[in-house]
Amino acid sequence: MKQIQTDVLIVGSGPIGATYARLIKDALPDTKILMIEKGPRLTGKAGMHVKNIEDDQERERAQILSQGPHQKPYPLITVTERANAVNMGELSIDLLGRPGTHLVSENAEDLKANEMPAASCSTNVGGMAAHWTCACPRPGNAERIPFIPDVEMDQALTKAEKLLCVTQSAFPESAEGLAIQKVLGDIFNEQLTSGRKVQPMPLACITNEKGERYWVGPDVILGDLAEPGYAGNFELRDQTICRQLYKEDGHVTGALIEHLPSGTREEVKAKLVIVACDALRTPQLLWASGIRPKALGHYLNEHPFIFCFVELKDDLVDTTLGKRYDQSSRTEPTIGVFLVPFDDPGHPFHAQIMHMDVSPLKIETHGNPKHVVGLGIGCLKEMRYEDCIEFSETEQDYSGMPKMSFQFQLTEKDRAQIASAKVEQVKAAAAFGKVIQEGEQTLMPAGTSLHAQATVRMGVADDGTSVCDTFSNVWGYDNLFVGGNGVLPVPTTCNPTLTSVALAVRSSEKVISLLKHNSSYEQRNTFRGKPEIA
């Protein structure tokens, strides 16, 4: 079997893998990095967001290529149809699948046994960040990690916002948008502390002088590394899976990788390994490699999410605009996305209000869709060891890795949180107008948010309740790091990508320090030291 050598092996090409690659290359330009991705490259620039593809057919093609074993378009269904499918036990891939993703459960039998039926992955260069909504709110008080100092975390969040080009000006200011903010402010601002008021959603987006939007994917984080034909010592291999990590005496020596189209296998020798292939497949790879700390796959968390859709009442629209939009007009203003931040105890929820053009969920409308807003609200889910991913010793998934199944239950505390969130949502909906028939208040199936967390969670001690330390270094291994939403150790309600990128920024400091102290493959024991972290 052919052997290859690299300084750093990164498994996964999403925003976390891209963050590690970018920061390592900036600090240590001569470092050799190999990044591998199980799925195909969708665009010339590695990891570009598919919303930047102008041609509709090409964009759909890119979405389908990302769907793993489900290489065909999903039927368009409403939010209510999706939720009712779970409530009635009528589960199917077509009802639960969303463009650019594929369900972890591969058939109806698995879906019936899955307590997180909508759990999904994106299998492509860029991962799910080639398809995401780009929402980047900062976590609120109880969502923050208690054992990372606030000043330190804020610095990491600021760096993450810079990498992701986060802005609150992605959409132009409009009278209707201002009216939406005022309605929300009148309802919620008294409950919110200073700095956590109703505001435009921070979005990962670049706008030019014409106001045209370029949605941020891992390509933006990677910079020149994402360009086709990049000639430096960074290599991105698509359609290449990591089958197993090789380990010896608390040290990962390399990995077995396979090019899926050809079946060609190679052994990679690496100084340092970073596994960042989402919150589901990161623990899957560790488990397949015999790296099985007690907490691996456990404490699985996702915020319950409730959706409804409201048609703005006439007096609100007429007062702010003076007339209804002309449906044939191509120049009408876009409302955008708005945020009511999590702020415990006054508002222990995360609420976002979306114009339908930027909503990831379909809704039928019988009038002008520019008058419909989606009200989404999420609440904290109690974190429990019992909620987990289970990996099979005997069965495999479509790609030949250990098959996953899910244990995930709502507690009484969770149900009380959901009931309170519904009351808040009803209050907001009444202020805006009328809930439309196809968009009644609905608790979405578990997994719908695509924000699975905590499966390789960080902690302060190797006591069985965590997988890695506060710098994402896996307990018991001097050169193995994990990244992504799986490292988040506390329940959250907000979109987690910004926080996960910030944790990767912080972790990169330790990675860079280790690489500086390890000048050759033979000097692996230097990883056992404790170099200072800037």
CA dihedral over 467, 469, 472, 478, signed as positive or negative: negative
DSSP state of 333: P
With the CA atoms of 21, 22, 25 and 31 taken in that order, what torsion angle do they form, in degrees rounded to the nearest 10?
0
SS3 392: strand
Q: Cα 377 vs. chain centroid, distance in angstroms? A: 17
Taking the C-alpha atoms of residue 159 and residue 164, their distance in angstroms, rounded to an integer, is 9
CA neighbor of 238 nearest in space, from 360, 110, 127: 127
User: Around Cβ 252, how many Cβ atoms within 10 Å?
Assistant: 25
Q: Which two tokens stand for residue 104?
A: 């972890």
SS3 153: helix
CB crowding 180-213: b at 16 or more within 10 Å, else e:
bbebbbebbbebbeeebbbbbbbbbbebeeeeeb
Taking the C-alpha atoms of residue 114 and residue 120, their distance in angstroms, rounded to an integer, is 12
H or E stretch covering 441 = none
Q: Tokens 């979005």 appear where?
A: 203
Contact 18, 33 (CB under 8 A): no
Q: Which residues belong to the active site?
A: 451
Task: Give me the phi and psi of 480, to 5 degrees please.
Answer: -115, 125
CA dihedral over 237, 241, 242, 243, signed as positive or negative: negative
Q: Cα 241 vs. chain centroid, distance in angstroms? A: 20
Q: What is the 3-state secondary structure (H, E, C) of 242-306?
A: EEEEEECCCCEEEEEEEECCCCEEEEEEEEEEEECCHHHHHHHHHHHCCCCCCCCCECCECCCEE
